Structure 1
Amino acid sequence: MLGTTELRARQLPLPEPGQAQDVEVADIASALSAIEWDFGPIKARRGGHGFVLASGTGALHLAAGETAIEAPCVIWLPSGTTGSVRLDAGARGAMMTVSDAALGRVVPASSIAGPLRQAIDRPLLAVRLEPAAARAVLRDLEDMRREAIDDLPGMREAIMSRLCLVLIAFWRLGGGAVAQPQASPRVLVQGFMQLVELHARSQWRIADYAGAMGISSDRLTSAIRRATGQSPLELVHRRLLDDAESLLERSSLQVSEIADALGFRDAGYFNRFFSRQKGISPGRYRQQAMRLRAGRDGSYAAWP
């Protein structure tokens, strides 16, 4: 129910073209009467609902009882939560609805993935936050709405990035920022290698891997070297080199195309990287692989 409060909503097209809309963001502007949202069983199954209030009061009604709302605060109702949110006249902020599909895609592949997914499944019942923090989250929501309006290249990626920031803010408010016991070197190595599989071709820096794992670059380097005898950069290079060798041996892609597939900025840079690692150029490596394969098969005919 919208009452007389002004809501300016904008559906945000996060999925690929042809799929259903996944996110809706609306401004909650000041008004002369109360406003209420009723999340019955049908609406509750459509995804999660979030409210970020900069000012105002109200009440949250769930099966467990009533919770008073006093801004600045955050409300997050996971998918399947039934109840209602009532805001008194004068409330200001924003609300969003996020489908389960979008929530499944937005969680980053990193060390916080598990805790963040768990946080998304837990409600935040009018959790208080500092005014500056409320303004920061509201800016992210407004940026999501503007991205959809402007419809510039990279819009979906920009919206997903901002949605992730909003959900991380919710996670922290729910206790996700509480310091956890430090992971063992073995666990760190496993997490690092998983990220390398996902992001080596994106040419992530070691600082990017450390940041995704929530640790310093020095700690990551120390753990990796202690467990493997190699530096994180050496392991990333080894992964890229394995991919490069496989593509040179088993594909008909040009060297420049392989360089692009592996995330190198140009073929020259890839040639220097490969030659430094293998002591031979990519072209020579491919020729040698062809000769070896021809020797096994009896001819060059089997080469793609």
Structure 2
Amino acid sequence: MVGNGRALPSGFVQDVEVEELAGALTAHEWDFSSATARLGGHGFVLASGSGSVLLAGVVHPLEGPCVVWLPSGSLARVRLDAGARGAMMAVSDAALGRVVPASSIAGPLRQAIERPMLGVRIEAAAARGAVRDLEDMRREALDDLPGMREAIISRLCLVLIAFWRWGGGASVQPQSSPRQLVQNFLQLVELNARAQWRIGDYARTMGVSTDRLTTAIRRATGQSPLELVHRRLMKDAESLLERSILQVAEIADALGFRDPGYFNRFFARRAGMSPGRYRQQFLLQRAGREGSYAAWP
């Protein structure tokens, strides 16, 4: 579930749960000692306030802004004092297995989510950003729009990468070669183009700067990263216009465009015609081909 107990579609039920920590008047506790509670990982972003984590008989004090990560199977208890603000997430083992990107950081990231982080201090702005990401995941579930599952997984990936960096994992990773960067980027585009990731999101996921990613992509392909993302979206749009009976607004939604008018302009700039006109021309051309085949002796 994600927030307010809202169930997700089949295959995603109870995979991710997000709870807002809105400065309660009394202390709040989470007990992860039961077998059910230990399934999956649990993360806390404490934007402000204080509390503690009890793990393996040792009490670890918390002082915001900080983060906590408890891997699957942790026998722990978290207490947040009255007034604490932030957000927490519970992520199933299945979701943790799916969310790790196919890139050079896959191995280190998997190792990181198997280790606890207990009150690692972070910048206040970073804490606010992580809370926003978690709140976006909760809103995605509540809106229940097409592509919701992919959007939640994409945001979850960014949050876990941020936790990994705050835990110090990114500081020891060797830099990928330009060729590996290009391969990793193209793989991520296949997975996340419809989630409308920004180029900065791709760069963060890959552990490189936006400038380095852009330079590597331009040298290898002659195009910018954004142009490659747009090309992927155009291929998907053309395929849906040709092979589906979805309305143009529904296709826009399926591709992550919240505004159908913007999708129309996006498509027209690249195809030289509107999506509706493109579909009409395709159907006329197909009818002409089928008619010519029928005329054969």
* TM norm structure 2: 0.62
Deviation at 1:100, TM superposition (A): 0.6
Change (3 A) 1:261 1:74: closer
Q: Deviations over 1:60-117 (max 9, x none)?
A: 341xx63543534543221211244578x88956784614168549947575873444
Map 1:177-188; keep pairs closer than 5 Å: 177-178=170-171, 180-188=173-181
Q: For residue 3 of structure 1, what is the aligned residue in structure 2? A: none
Deviates more, 1:104-113 or 1:189-198: 104-113
Name structure 2 gaps, 5 residues minimum: none
Change (3 A) 1:293 1:195: farther
SS at match of 2:68: strand
Paired residue type of 1:270: F
Q: Deviations over 1:263-298 (max 9, x none)?
A: 57354653442238xxx9664454334433444x43
Q: For residue 298 of structure 1, what is the aligned residue in structure 2? A: 294
Name structure 1 gaps, 5 residues minimum: 1-9
Change (3 A) 1:144 1:222: closer
Match of 1:13 among 6, 12, 21: 6
Map 1:132-171; keep pairs closer than 5 Å: 132=124, 136=128, 153=143, 167-171=160-164
Change (3 A) 1:95 1:80: farther
Q: CA RMSD in A?
A: 5.2
Q: For residue 270 of structure 2, what is the aligned residue in structure 1? A: 273
Q: Verify: 1:129 aligned to 2:114, yes or no.
A: no
Number of residues of Structure 1 aligned to a counterpart in Structure 2: 279
Q: Report if aligned partners of 1:74, 1:128 keep a CA contact under 8 Å in 2.
A: yes
Match of 1:288 among 285, 288, 297: 285
Q: Report if aligned partners of 2:154, 2:195 keep a CA contact under 8 Å in 1.
A: no
Q: Report if aligned partners of 2:105, 2:206 keep a CA contact under 8 Å in 1.
A: no
Q: Report if aligned partners of 2:53, 2:76 keep a CA contact under 8 Å in 1.
A: no
SS at match of 2:61: strand
- Measure, in 2, the Cα distance between the counterparts of 1:211 and 1:228: 21
Q: For residue 69 of structure 2, what is the aligned residue in structure 1? A: 76
* TM norm structure 1: 0.61
Q: Deviations over 1:184-214 (max 9, x none)?
A: 1221221222233234456656555445544
Q: Verify: 1:198 aligned to 2:191, yes or no.
A: yes
Q: For residue 5 of structure 1, what is the aligned residue in structure 2? A: none
Paired residue type of 2:92: D
Deviates more, 1:203-212 or 1:214-223: 203-212
Q: Report if aligned partners of 2:67, 2:120 keep a CA contact under 8 Å in 1.
A: yes
Q: Report if aligned partners of 2:15, 2:94 keep a CA contact under 8 Å in 1.
A: no
Q: Report if aligned partners of 1:12, 1:25 keep a CA contact under 8 Å in 2.
A: no
Map 1:20-169; keep pairs closer than 5 Å: 20=14, 22-23=16-17, 25=19, 38-51=31-44, 54=48, 60-62=54-56, 66=58, 68-69=60-61, 71-72=63-64, 73-84=66-77, 96=88, 98-100=90-92, 103-104=95-96, 107=99, 114=106, 115-124=108-117, 126-129=118-121, 132=124, 136=128, 153=143, 167-169=160-162
- Measure, in 2, the Cα distance between the counterparts of 1:116 and 1:79: 14
SS at match of 2:213: helix
Paired residue type of 1:225: R
Change (3 A) 1:136 1:112: farther
